[in-house]
């Protein structure tokens, strides 16, 4: 005897209960049948017997083309996947001494990322004795946020982790 299929509904010979309630392809209830008779009826009509409610008493089975049902489900899943929005986390790296022009360029990048709907992680890296002036790094982070305040909200306030300070900015809901 073959191993029962683990995914999806059971069809035809994989249905192991003695009696089933049968519904035809147009949705009308045909009544309760012995499983062998229901499978024979499905074969005569050129269809499959598909178990749709295995926990009901008796289990409910429907007559239909299983291949077509599987294809339509696959199409529906791929359509849902197309409509799904994936939010990426983009990173912008700064130093406490990053010059104004370079800072402006980074702000333009942050604006573009936020307009595309992505989150932005602002990283300020400290080297050497710069670590003694964490407030400068926090000021740079907040200055970055102030310039893009119309597009974003702060998701994670500036915090230190080793020699780096992080802040996460997320786009505002439209």
Tens digit of pLDDT at every position of the chain (174 positions): 555 556 778 888 888 899 999 998 888 899 999 999 999 999 999 999 999 888 888 999 999 998 888 898 899 999 988 888 788 899 999 999 999 999 999 999 999 999 999 999 999 999 999 999 999 999 999 999 999 999 999 999 999 999 999 999 999 986
For residue 83, what pLDDT is reported?
84
Degrees, nearest 5: CA angle 14-20-22: 105
Contact 63, 49 (CB under 8 A): yes
For residue 2, what pLDDT is reported?
56
For residue 3, what pLDDT is reported?
56
Structural domains of the chain, ranges and CATH numbers in brackets:
12-78 (3.10.20.80), 89-171 (3.30.110.10)
Contact 130, 96 (CB under 8 A): yes
d(CA 132, CA 166) in angstroms, rounded, equals: 16
In 24-78 the beta strands, taken as DSSP E runs, fall at 29-34, 48-53, 60-64
In the chain the beta strands, taken as DSSP E runs, fall at 19-23, 29-34, 48-53, 60-64, 89-94, 119-125, 152-161, 164-171
For residue 114, what pLDDT is reported?
93
């Amino acid at each position: 005897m073959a191993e029962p299929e683990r995914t999806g509904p059971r069809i035809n010979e994989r249905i192991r209960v003695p009696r089933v309630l049968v519904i035809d392809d147009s949705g009308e209830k045909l009544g309760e049948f012995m499983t062998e008779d229901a499978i024979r009826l499905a074969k005569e009509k050129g269809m499959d017997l598909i178990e749709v409610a295995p926990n009901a008493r008796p289990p409910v089975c429907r007559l239909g083309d299983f291949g077509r049902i599987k294809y339509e489900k696959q199409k529906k899943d791929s359509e849902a996947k197309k409509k799904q929005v994936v939010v990426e986390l983009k990173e912008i790296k700064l130093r406490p001494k990053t010059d104004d022009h370079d800072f402006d360029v980074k702000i333009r990048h942050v604006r573009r990322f936020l307009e595309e709907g992505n989150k932005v992680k602002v990283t300020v890296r400290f080297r050497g004795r710069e670590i003694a002036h964490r407030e400068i790094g926090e000021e740079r982070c907040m200055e970055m946020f102030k310039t893009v305040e119309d597009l974003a909200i702060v998701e994670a306030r500036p915090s230190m982790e080793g020699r780096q300070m992080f802040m996460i900015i997320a786009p505002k809901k439209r």
